[in-house]
C-alpha cells in the first residue's frame, strides 16, 4: 500500500471549508475528505446514525495498518451557522486567503486541523514502515447534540474489534499563539432544571396563594452561595451559573402557579454527578420542608470530568509541539466540552489544535503558517508515537 500522495494541508482546508457543513448537513465534506484519505490508502467506512427525536448524521471512520499500537485522530467536520453572512468580510464558505490569514467557517474549529492531520498522515506513510494502526474518526455531529456522532462510532468500531490505544483530538486549544496549550482534561457539565409549584391566585389576596417565586429564589440564593471546592493544580474551582429563571406569567396581578430555573455546573475531578445531584436536591428539600410547595429537579449530565495527567503519550505531544514552535507548551483543562469526553472511556486522549480565538465568530480565521506548522507537529507526534 505504498503511496506517494502529497496532501497540501492548506488546499485541503480550503476544499473542506467550501462545503457548508452546518450540523447536521455534511454538504459533501465527508466525501471530500474520504477521497483524499482513500488516495493515501486509508480504508474508509461511512457510519450514519439516527435515533428518534434526532436528525440522522453521517460519520467517517478511516484506518491504515493493523493491530496495535493504534493512534486515532478525533475530529468533526460540522460547523456552527455563520450568523449574518453580510457581517463577514469574505464569503464564509470561500476560504479566502488575505494577508497570510485563511478566512472561513470552520477554519479554526476545526477543518484546518483535519486537513493538517491528513497531510501529516500521508507524509508519515510515504516515509515510514510501521506496525500498528493509524486512524481518523470524523463526525459531522459535534457542534449539535453529539448523539449520533463520535459516541456511537466508538461503540460500533469497538464491537467490530477495533481497539484504540491513544487519541489526539484536533480541537483548537491555543489561546493566542500556536503551541501554547495542550489540553489533557476537561471539566464535567451538569445542567439542572428546578421547578417549584405553588398556588396561583390574586396578588391582592396573598393569603390565598402560595408564591413559587419566593421558594425558588431562596433555593437559588443558597445555590449561588455554595463554594463547591477550591479547584486543583490542573482545574479551576467548580462553578455554578444560573442561566434561566421563568414564572410563565403574562399578568401583572396574578401570583403564578409555577416558577422554574435552570443552572449549569462546570465541575472538576473533585466532584461527581451523583454528589452534585445530592447537594442540589438537599438544598431544595431543606428549603421546602414543612411547606406545601411541590418541587421537581431534572438533571442532564452531558460530560464527566477527566484528566490524563502527563503520561508518556502527552509528553510526546508536548515534545512535538515544542520542537516545531520553540515554545514551552503548558497542559490545560480550560474551555467547554469536546468529543474527548467520549474517547476518554476507550483510550488515552489529549487535545491539540490551532488558536481558538475566532472559533464560532464572524470572520473566523487562522494563520496559513499555523496550518502548515500544525501539520508538521502532527507528523512529529505520529513519528514519536510509532517509534
Question: Would you please indicate which residues are annotated as catalytic (active-site) residues?
Answer: 78, 142
**Count of residues of this chain found to bind Zn ion when the rule CB under 5 A is applied:** 3
| Residue whose CB is less far from Zn ion, 146 or 276 | 146
Asked if 17 is part of the footprint of Zn ion (rule: CB under 5 A), the reply reads: no
What minimum distance in Å lies between the beta carbon of 337 and Zn ion?
A: 10
Q: Which of residues 164-183 bind Zn ion (CB under 5 A)?
A: 171
H/E/C letters for each residue in 62-120? EEEEECCCEEEEEEECCECCCCCHHHCCCCCCCCCEECCEEECCCHHHHHHHHHHHHHH
Whether the CA torsion 214, 302, 365, 326 is positive or negative: it is positive
| Residue whose CB is less far from Zn ion, 143 or 376 | 143
What minimum distance in Å lies between the beta carbon of 189 and Zn ion?
A: 15
**Mutual angle of helices 9-17 and 29-40, in 10-degree steps:** 150
Q: β-strand 188-197 against 306-307: which pairing, if any?
A: unpaired
Q: Which of residues 76-135 bind Zn ion (CB under 5 A)?
A: 109-110
What minimum distance in Å lies between the beta carbon of 143 and Zn ion?
A: 7
| Burial annotation 63-72 (CB, 10 A radius, 16+ → b, else e) | bbbeeebbbb
| Residue whose CB is less far from Zn ion, 18 or 110 | 110
| Residue whose CB is less far from Zn ion, 256 or 356 | 356
Residue number, nearest CB to Zn ion = 109
What does the CA dihedral 66, 68, 69, 73 come to, rounded to 10 degrees?
50
What minimum distance in Å lies between the beta carbon of 110 and Zn ion?
A: 5
Largest CA distance in the chain: 84
| Residue whose CB is less far from Zn ion, 149 or 305 | 149
| Residue whose CB is less far from Zn ion, 114 or 276 | 114
Asked if 141 is part of the footprint of Zn ion (rule: CB under 5 A), the reply reads: no
What minimum distance in Å lies between the beta carbon of 142 and Zn ion?
A: 6
What minimum distance in Å lies between the beta carbon of 292 and Zn ion?
A: 47
What minimum distance in Å lies between the beta carbon of 109 and Zn ion?
A: 4
| Residue whose CB is less far from Zn ion, 110 or 320 | 110
Kindly list the residues in this chain that would bind Zn ion in the complex (CB under 5 A): 109-110, 171
Amino acid at each position: 500500500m505504498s503511496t506517494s500522495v502529497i496532501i497540501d494541508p492548506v488546499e485541503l482546508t480550503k476544499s473542506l471549508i467550501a462545503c457548508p457543513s452546518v450540523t447536521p448537513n455534511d454538504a459533501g465534506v465527508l466525501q471530500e475528505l474520504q477521497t483524499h484519505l482513500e488516495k493515501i490508502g486509508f480504508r474508509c467506512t461511512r457510519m450514519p446514525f439516527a435515533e428518534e427525536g434526532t436528525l440522522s448524521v453521517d460519520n467517517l471512520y478511516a484506518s491504515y495498518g493493523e493491530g496495535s499500537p493504534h493512534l486515532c485522530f478525533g475530529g468533526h467536520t460540522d460547523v456552527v451557522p455563520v450568523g449574518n453572512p453580510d457581517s463577514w468580510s469574505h464569503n464564509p464558505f470561500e476560504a479566502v486567503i488575505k494577508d497570510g490569514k485563511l478566512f472561513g467557517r470552520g477554519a479554526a474549529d476545526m477543518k484546518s486541523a483535519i486537513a493538517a492531520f491528513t497531510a501529516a498522515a500521508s507524509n508519515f506513510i510515504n516515509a515510514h514502515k510501521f506496525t500498528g494502526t493509524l486512524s481518523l474518526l470524523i463526525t459531522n455531529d459535534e457542534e449539535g447534540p453529539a448523539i449520533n456522532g463520535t459516541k456511537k462510532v466508538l461503540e460500533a468500531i469497538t464491537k467490530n474489534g477495533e481497539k484504540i490505544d491513544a487519541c489526539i483530538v484536533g480541537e483548537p486549544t491555543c489561546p493566542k499563539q500556536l503551541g501554547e496549550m495542550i489540553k489533557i482534561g476537561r471539566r464535567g457539565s451538569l445542567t439542572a432544571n428546578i421547578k417549584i409549584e405553588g398556588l396561583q391566585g390574586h396578588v391582592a389576596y396573598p393569603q390565598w396563594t402560595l408564591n413559587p417565586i419566593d421558594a425558588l429564589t431562596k433555593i437559588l440564593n443558597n445555590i449561588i452561595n455554595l463554594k463547591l471546592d477550591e479547584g486543583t493544580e490542573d482545574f479551576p474551582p467548580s462553578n455554578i451559573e444560573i442561566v434561566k429563571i421563568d414564572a410563565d406569567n403574562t399578568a401583572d396581578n396574578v401570583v403564578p402557579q409555577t416558577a422554574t430555573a435552570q443552572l449549569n455546573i462546570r465541575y472538576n475531578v473533585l466532584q461527581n454527578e451523583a454528589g452534585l445531584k445530592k447537594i442540589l436536591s438537599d438544598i431544595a428539600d431543606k428549603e421546602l420542608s414543612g411547606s406545601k410547595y411541590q418541587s421537581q429537579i431534572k438533571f442532564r449530565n452531558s460530560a464527566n470530568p477527566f484528566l490524563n495527567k502527563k503520561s508518556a503519550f502527552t509528553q510526546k505531544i508536548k515534545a512535538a509541539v515544542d520542537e516545531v514552535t520553540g515554545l514551552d507548551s503548558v497542559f490545560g483543562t480550560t474551555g467547554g466540552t469536546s468529543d474527548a469526553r467520549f474517547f476518554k472511556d476507550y483510550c488515552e486522549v489529549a487535545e491539540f489544535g490551532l488558536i481558538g480565538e475566532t472559533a464560532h465568530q464572524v470572520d473566523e480565521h487562522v494563520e496559513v503558517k499555523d496550518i502548515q506548522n500544525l501539520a508538521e507537529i502532527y507528523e512529529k507526534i505520529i513519528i514519536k508515537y510509532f517509534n
